[in-house]
Amino acid sequence: MIRLHHCAQTRSMRTLWLLHELGVEFEVVSHAFGKNLRSVEYLALNPAGRVPALEIDGDTMFETGAITEYLCELYPETGMGRLPGEDERRDWLVWLHFAETISQHSAALTQQHIALYDASMRSAIVTRLEAKRLEKCYGAIEARLAESGDYLLKGGFSAADISVGQALYMSLHFARLDAFPLVTSWYRRLTLRDGFIASEPKELETRLYPKEFYEPWEG
């Protein structure tokens, strides 16, 4: 039995998308993003009070990178992972975890634009700096795609694309892709996949990002 605890438009979307691509049976427990994740019951699943939490085979996992590595090793026939000893293993690990480099900047911007309700607590410097850091991440992906082709690995689509692609899904609320044509084309390919479409927020789900785009805070 696989059960995913999920909030729309958060890192748990990464795991949801992967589960769809793996083609395995699973359940989703949807949570509103907020204080309910601090309940005693939920903290027993993820002690940080965040999503995802993945219940699997009588145990529980958290942290998207660890979950992705475990699921890809559990279902190697899907080709979503690169196993130890395989040629692309090192690059797969690098790009899989590069998603968190992107996500840390998106998280800082999410705090500035959404979590801090009082305008006096927001920082114009932070919002501009973090948006520029996202653009540097886009540049790194652009350079990689110039070398690897359609996907982050020459061997084709993998969970590395899922992880980085989902990180972009969040970061695009704060920094645009206008200057990065290869990333734009790559991201468009990802968003056409059935697994991505199935992991997008449903019509009635509460969204983390009410707005499509957040301009840097002017102060």
Q: Which fold has domain 2-78?
A: Glutaredoxin (3.40.30)
CA 138 – CA 179 distance, rounded (Å): 9
Contact 169, 110 (CB under 8 A): no
Percent above pLDDT 90 for the chain = 90
If one counts every other C-beta atom within 10 angstroms of the C-beta of residue 200, the result is 14
Lowest model confidence (mean pLDDT) among 63-67, 100-104, 195-199, 214-218: 214-218
Judged by DSSP in three states, 5 sits in strand
Predicted TM-score (pTM) of the model is 0.96
Tell me: the pLDDT tens digits for 102-156?
999 999 999 999 999 888 889 999 999 999 999 999 999 999 999 999 999 999 9
Task: List, by residue range, all CATH 1.20.1050.10 domains of the chain.
Answer: 89-199
Task: List, by residue range, all CATH 3.40.30.10 domains of the chain.
Answer: 2-78
Banded model confidence at residue 219, pLDDT cuts 50, 70, 90: low
CA 217 – CA 215 distance, rounded (Å): 6
- Residue 85 per-residue DSSP state: T
CATH assignment of 89-199, given 1.20.1050.10, 3.30.360.10, 3.20.20.120, 3.30.470.20?
1.20.1050.10
